[in-house]
Structure 1
Amino acid sequence: MVVAALLAAGCSTTRVSGPAPVEDRGFSRSETVAAKPGAENAGKPGYYTVKAGDTVYRIALDNGQNWRDIAAWNNLANPSSIEIGQVLRVAPPAAPAAPAAPVVAAAPVSSGGVVGRPLSETSQPAPSPAPAPAPAAAPTPAPAPAQAATPAGDELNFVWPANGPIVAQFDEATNKGVGIGGRIGDPVVAAADGRVVYAGAGLRGYGNLIILKHNNTYLTAYAHNQALLVREDQAVKQGQKIAEMGSSDADRVKLHFEVRRLGKPVDPLGHLPKR
């Protein structure tokens, strides 16, 4: 009986511990998933959300900007460290508004020493002329729809960057420029005055590439070169030799030439002189 009682007491107090239950603390998704840098600006004009395969260099080309400017606007110490979902500023920050002109209080008008005199009994005030009716206001014409006009002075007269034949036509979906054939080492020249905003091989599919910024509207790109003869931030003149034609990252010797208007590729043949 004593043994049975002890066994019963042991069964009533001994218990095998199992896994603790998961406690639902009610965290929201925003608390458990770290927000990407700049996420508060997603979808706003002048901002871009990084996608798979993007680089700062390509984002700059597609938005008509210098990659160094984009790095500076977004405080990127290392341009290669961007991540998918990060939101980058791709347009210059707005200039601060000019201070309002101070309001000057008007000085009271002096009477100038004019003395009032009473009217005589025979004096009568002259009748005031009846006010002329106001002319009917002309109807205001409806404003014309806004168009992306080229800023004054930004249109350019380009020259051909190479002398060979056209070997690839422009296609906005598959070929964002034209291919100009030639031989290894043929000269590649600047199509217009500008400044080098990129010189290197960091954009996949372009090989050794030079990008010139001509003004706030136009960029030109020169790809697949054998040798680059200019450096970043260098000013160049129209017709100046900037590279030698090659076949880097291409299936043949050619110059791939792009014209970008406000970051969007346009057909270079519409901007080059007729041959």
Structure 2
Amino acid sequence: MSKTTRTPTLAMAACILASLALIGCSSTVVREPSRGGRPTSSRPSGARPAPAASKPKYGATYTVQRGEGLYRIAANNGIQMADLAAWNNLSPPYSLNPGQRLRLYPSGGERPASGSPSTGAAPPRASAPAPAPAAPVNSGIRWRWPADGPLLGRYVANEPTKQGVDIGGASGTPVRAAADGVVVYSGTGLVGYGELIIVKHNEQWLSAYGHNRKRLVNEGQVVKAGDQIAEMGRSGAARDMLHFEVRYNAKPVDPMLYLPAK
């Protein structure tokens, strides 16, 4: 297996898909002293502790800065990370890009109305659900299938465990780059992906290849469409298969919209 270079920015693997530039999270963890007999907690160094309850900022948005992760943004705005992710339809590993705008309140939410004098309760307000973002129609990239084999699973929007397609095959089946690009990650840091490779194709598009038996490329390596980059396996999976994702501006999209018809 090819050796993977470990750097501080890659130590927190949950940040790999959060930025195409492989930036964002600090790996330093500090312990807070026990207060009032409560157990101690851990949090990233330099970040404020997350609040007990989220405080939505209705109508407000936040622009992601280079080097910021979702936890830090949520804590600095008085919001639980899980709530901020849900309000912006983000799924693990909570992908972010510099310049991306995050909504600091629930989708379709409005500031609660003043309570009624008789009941003190806010009258309900009807709001239309936010429309789902349309998938990009043209990537400008000539994609190819990353492996030969039957299609075992398809992409399901907003389903964290189905952010790509699963392709079956025997252990050792070649896994190939779906398009020209540069390897920006080769390792095992993302829980649930096993032996993982991520290829950056341009500033907007990347592809991910999970559950490999063996990785054959290193970070920084230039690959061409069709080059073998791994061997199919079952690391982090129940059977031999390739989990393949396509991401546009770090957000997962349905690979079947871009792969050629078989």
Deviation >3 Å, runs of 4+: 82-88, 90-93, 147-150
Deviation of 1:58 after TM superposition, in Å, equals: 2.4
State the percentage of identical aligned residues: 46
* Residue 66, structure 1, aligned to residue 21, structure 2: yes
Aligned twin of 1:253: 240
* Residue 170, structure 1, aligned to residue 155, structure 2: yes
* Residue 201, structure 1, aligned to residue 188, structure 2: yes
Deviation of 1:204 after TM superposition, in Å, equals: 0.3
Consecutive unaligned residues of structure 1, counting only runs of 5 or more, are 1-54, 94-146
Q: What whole-Å deviation, never above 9, does each CA across 1:219-245 have from its counterpart, x for those lacking one? A: 100000000000001111110000000
Deviation of 1:91 after TM superposition, in Å, equals: 4.2
SS, match of residue 269 in structure 1: helix
Alignment check: 8 A CA contact 1:195 1:233 kept: yes
Question: Which amino acid is the alignment partner of residue 246 of structure 2?
Answer: V
- Aligned residue among 81, 87, 107 for 2:28: 81
Aligned twin of 1:143: none
Deviation of 1:166 after TM superposition, in Å, equals: 0.4
Consecutive unaligned residues of structure 2, counting only runs of 5 or more, are 1-10, 30-42, 49-64, 69-95, 100-132
Deviation of 1:155 after TM superposition, in Å, equals: 1.8
Aligned twin of 1:262: 249
Q: Aligned partners of 1:181, 1:223: CA distance in 2, in Å?
A: 12
Question: Which amino acid is the alignment partner of residue 216 of structure 2?
Answer: L
Deviation of 1:149 after TM superposition, in Å, equals: 10
Question: Which amino acid is the alignment partner of residue 171 of structure 1?
Answer: V
Question: Which amino acid is the alignment partner of residue 193 of structure 2?
Answer: Y
Aligned twin of 1:159: 144
Question: Which amino acid is the alignment partner of residue 219 of structure 2?
Answer: E
TM-score, normalising length: structure 1: 0.52
SS, match of residue 231 in structure 2: strand
Residues 163, 149 of structure 1: CA spacing in aligned structure 2 closer, same or farther, 3 A cutoff? closer
Alignment check: 8 A CA contact 1:197 1:212 kept: yes
Number of aligned residues: 157
Q: Aligned partners of 1:228, 1:66: CA distance in 2, in Å?
A: 21
* Residue 239, structure 1, aligned to residue 226, structure 2: yes
TM-score, normalising length: structure 2: 0.54
Residues 268, 149 of structure 1: CA spacing in aligned structure 2 closer, same or farther, 3 A cutoff? closer
SS, match of residue 219 in structure 1: strand
Alignment check: 8 A CA contact 2:186 2:217 kept: yes
Alignment check: 8 A CA contact 2:135 2:253 kept: no
Q: Aligned partners of 1:222, 1:149: CA distance in 2, in Å?
A: 21
SS, match of residue 58 in structure 1: helix
Q: Which has the larger radius of gyration?
A: 1
Deviation of 1:81 after TM superposition, in Å, equals: 2.3
Q: Aligned partners of 1:149, 1:244: CA distance in 2, in Å?
A: 30
Deviation of 1:65 after TM superposition, in Å, equals: 1.3
Question: Which amino acid is the alignment partner of residue 153 of structure 2?
Answer: A
